[in-house]
């Protein structure tokens, strides 16, 4: 079945259906599990869970050229979808009225994803691509690129619509910048001017790539919470840190 999906369904069609999924629309998939997929309705989290439960994560996201795949550890293409589910679960909890086993995030971080489905869709796709975070490859011109860009471009055939191809890699690039900035702020509080400069960094807030400081901070927070997420218990483990608790409250 998995091989048939790779060979018979165009990558453009796969990307189109994933786009519908993360925007909360119905999906189309081959008839042998069409009814099961439709039973999940318009909930992006349930669709993410179903893709992973059916073992289709890499069938959807890892169809990239061999010259790129050969430069990535083979372990990446095994069962690595748990981080994607965890990130999607956290985003779902933040963006819905459902209960979350931690304090609510500041309203300023949630306003865009609650009001704009396209911002929320971009964060859902970024969540799905979390297993590819940090992996790079070198092209024939000896230039280094992120693997997640190749996944968006080759496996999903998505471009800059809704700032997927140009915005999501920037979202990931902003994570270490924000974390470094927050560590510096904890050691020695920054002035409002320095905090403003941090939030105006081009990888954190840039209209050209659809980046907004609030969603950049929220995504960075999500990546911090992923290791603490207990998928079996639909909550967070006892290892949940006070550092993350402080970030959510503030």
pLDDT of residue 31: 39
DSSP β-bridge partners for residue 235: 230
pLDDT of residue 5: 77
pLDDT of residue 23: 87
pLDDT of residue 241: 45
User: pLDDT tens across 168-181, in order?
Assistant: 999 999 999 999 99
Per-residue pLDDT at 204 exceeds 90: yes
**Confidence at 235, pLDDT banded by 50, 70, 90:** low
pLDDT of residue 78: 79
With contact defined as beta carbons under 8 Å apart, do 14 and 108 qualify?
no
User: pLDDT tens across 41-87, in order?
Assistant: 467 888 888 888 888 899 999 999 999 999 999 888 876 788 999 99
Q: How far is CA 221 from the centre of its chain?
A: 12
Residue with tokens 């430069």: 71
Average pLDDT taken over every residue of the chain: 84
User: pLDDT tens across 222-234, in order?
Assistant: 999 998 887 766 5
94 versus 131: the higher-pLDDT residue is 131
219 versus 37: the higher-pLDDT residue is 219
Exposure pattern of 72-102 as b/e (b: 16+ CB <10 Å)? beeeeeeebbebbbbbbbbbbbbbeeeebeb
203 versus 49: the higher-pLDDT residue is 203
Per-residue pLDDT at 153 exceeds 60: yes
Distance CA 16, CA 87 (A): 21
Distance CA 249, CA 119 (A): 22
Cα-based distances in Å from 87 to 2, 144, 162, 200: 24, 26, 20, 25
For residue 248 the two structure tokens come to 């959510």
**Confidence at 35, pLDDT banded by 50, 70, 90:** very low
User: pLDDT tens across 159-168, in order?
Assistant: 999 999 999 9
The DSSP bridge pattern shows strands 136-138 and 144-146 to be antiparallel
18 versus 27: the higher-pLDDT residue is 18
């Amino acid at each position: 079945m998995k091989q048939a999906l790779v060979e018979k369904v165009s990558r453009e069609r796969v990307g189109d259906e994933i786009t519908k999924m993360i925007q909360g629309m119905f999906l189309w998939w081959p008839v042998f599990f069409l009814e099961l997929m439709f039973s999940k309705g318009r909930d992006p989290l349930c669709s993410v869970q179903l893709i992973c439960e059916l073992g289709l994560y890499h069938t959807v996201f890892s169809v990239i050229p061999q010259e790129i795949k050969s430069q990535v550890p083979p372990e990446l293409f095994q069962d690595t979808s748990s981080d994607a589910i965890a990130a999607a679960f956290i985003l779902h909890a933040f963006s819905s009225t459902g209960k979350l086993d931690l304090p609510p995030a500041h309203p300023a971080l949630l306003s865009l994803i609650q009001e704009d489905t396209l911002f929320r869709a971009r964060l859902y796709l970024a969540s799905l691509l979390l297993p590819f975070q940090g992996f790079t490859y070198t092209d024939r011109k000896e230039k280094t690129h992120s693997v997640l860009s190749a996944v968006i471009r080759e496996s999903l055939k998505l471009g800059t619509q809704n700032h997927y191809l140009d915005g999501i890699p920037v979202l990931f690039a902003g994570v270490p910048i924000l974390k470094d900035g927050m560590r510096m702020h904890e050691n020695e509080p920054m002035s409002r001017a320095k905090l403003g400069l941090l939030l105006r960094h081009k990888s954190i807030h840039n209209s050209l790539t659809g980046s907004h400081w609030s969603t950049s901070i929220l995504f960075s927070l999500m990546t911090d919470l992923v290791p603490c997420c207990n998928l079996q218990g639909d909550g967070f483990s006892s290892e949940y840190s006070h550092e993350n608790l402080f970030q959510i409250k503030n």
